Amino acid sequence: MQTKEKLGKKEILDLFKNGCKPDCQIGIEYERLPIFSVTSKAVDYGSEFGICNFLRTFAKEENWDYITDDYNIIGLKQEHDTITLEPGCQVELSLKPEKSILQIQNKVETLDKLMNPILDKFGISLLGYGVSPFSTHKSINLIPKKRYKLMAKYLWGILSDVMMKETAGVQCCIDFESEEDAIEKFKIANKLVPFMTAMFANSPIRGGVETGYKSFRALSWLNTDNDRCGFVGQIDNIESFEEYVDNVLETPMIFFNRNNDVVPINGKINFEEFMNNSEYDAELEDFELHANLYFPEVRLRNFIEIRNQDCVGNGLQYSILAIYKGILYGKTAMQEIKDLFKEFDYRDFSELRYNVPKSALNAQIKKYYAKDIAKEILYIAEKSLIEQNTGEEKYLDAIKEYTLEGICPADVIIRNWNGLWNKDIKKLIKYVS
């Protein structure tokens, strides 16, 4: 009888090396918050007009396949595109990567046109906003997905329930040509993170009240699980795929899957110990699951996933893609960003990350305001997009309206909340729908 070889680091590293590709594309993962239009409450999973029946109806009318977990519908798929549910019923579009932002925009708009009549029938609105504006996690039940129950039980931060059930974001996916290219982009993306969080901060009202934070979503991530969230290492000390993998291996495990069942670990061992434990035959799929339960601001896979922006709408979601595409797909732009950041070290970026949820672009890094650095980032991205000659600099117009004034979307919401809207949650919801 042939003995099965133990999982080794080489097999794991091959996952990353196989991601190298000469033809780089861009991708989006776009989460939105579903609320009932009449009550402003978060949509539940299982009621007559809940999100499960919405998915069931959409699948039937548009010929999408179910994604299930223990016979419960948790998403839909059609070829390379998926519509999936986050823990509190947040609706996520995860689309096939494309060469151009226009192709992604067209796909999102096409899907929205297909979904909107059914959403209207169900009385549901999808919000381009970063945190549940009215319902809080205590009144939002987890969808029936096994992993979410284990995650909710394990994640130890005081706002982990908020992160899981109440928040929505826009994630940008970037390709790399080589290991060297991946690590360079990874470092730059991490350093951009606190500025991008500040530029797109869009979650100041939660539970019907002003929170005192411009990105309550970003605050929730600061208080979810420091073992698996935040920056990987100290940014500049990651020099290879192996050093990134080492950080993942050292992270406590939550669970793994065997024979269609979930086996809890609850942090008792990390993945490296799991690999070396004779009680388990670690498999590559176990590492892929574990790496997917590792939530840094920037995550390396067979692409680079940048995860830190609040959900936004009205074209701002494409501004996010345009900034990253302009900078990370332009050699001159990457060097200009490195020059812009050369006087800052890991501690500076880390402190800024902690100050941004409250102050956004008014947070400081050393003697500078984030808003002044953000204007430079925008300028570099625009210049690079013009050089790339794709016409995609137009996607920066939506964020320019804010950044060049030194404000973020949350600043406008706070001004209206305390002014014209007179703290009326319905007016906020109309604004972000």
Digit-coded pLDDT (tens) for 279-327: 888 999 999 999 999 999 999 999 999 999 999 999 999 999 999 999 9
CA distance 60 to 66: 10
Q: Give burial (CB, 10 Å; 0-12/13-18/19+) of 169.
A: buried
pLDDT at 418 over 80: yes
pLDDT band at residue 4 using 50, 70 and 90 as cut-offs: low
Q: What is the mean pLDDT of residues 203-228?
A: 98
| CA-wise closest residue to 93 among 201, 169, 202, 41 | 169
Task: Give buried/exposed letters for 288-326 (b at 16+ CB in 10 A, else e).
Answer: ebbbebbbbbbbbeebbbbbbbbbbbebbbbbbbbbbbb
Cβ atoms of 110 and 179 closer than 8 Å: no
Tokens representing 387 are: 């050089």
Q: What is the pLDDT of residue 277?
A: 83
- Residue 215 DSSP one-character state: B
CA distance 381 to 336: 10
3-state secondary structure 265-317: CCCCCEHHHHHHCCCCCCCHHHHHHHHHCCEECEEECCCEEEEEEECCCCCHH
Q: What is the mean pLDDT of residues 343-365?
A: 98
Share of the chain above pLDDT 90, in %: 96
Q: What is the pLDDT of residue 2?
A: 47
pLDDT at 5 over 80: no
The model's pLDDT over 373-390, given as tens digits with 9 standing for 90+, comes to 999 999 999 999 999 999
pLDDT at 256 over 50: yes
C-beta atoms surrounding 85 within 10 Å: 26
Domain over 9-432 is classified CATH 3.40.190.10: no
Cβ atoms of 381 and 340 closer than 8 Å: no
Q: Is the dihedral of CA 413, 418, 420, 424 positive or negative?
A: positive
Q: What is the pLDDT of residue 260?
A: 82
pLDDT at 274 over 60: yes
CA distances from 305 to 42, 66, 170, 212 (A): 27, 25, 10, 29
pLDDT at 3 over 70: no
How do the domains of the chain map onto residue ranges? 9-432
Query: Which alpha helices (H) appear in 41-134, and where do they start and end?
Result: 51-62, 101-122
Measure CA 376 to chain center. Answer: 24
Q: What is the mean pLDDT of residues 217-241?
A: 97
- Three-state DSSP at 35 gives strand
Task: Give buried/exposed letters for 259-277 (b at 16+ CB in 10 A, else e).
Answer: eeeeeebebeebbbebbee
On whether the pTM is more than 0.95, the answer is yes
| CA-wise closest residue to 274 among 248, 242, 247, 249 | 249
C-beta atoms surrounding 229 within 10 Å: 19
The model's pLDDT over 144-184, given as tens digits with 9 standing for 90+, comes to 999 999 999 999 999 999 999 999 999 999 999 999 999 99
CA distances from 86 to 34, 163, 260, 412, 422 (A): 11, 10, 21, 27, 32
C-beta atoms surrounding 278 within 10 Å: 6
Q: What is the pLDDT of residue 178?
A: 98
**Average per-residue pLDDT in the chain?**
96
3-state secondary structure 351-384: HHHHHHHHHHHHCEECCEEHHHHHHHHHHHHHHH
Beta-carbon contacts of residue 226 (< 8 Å; ≥ 6 apart) = 157
Q: What is the mean pLDDT of residues 231-243?
A: 97
- Residue 425 DSSP one-character state: H
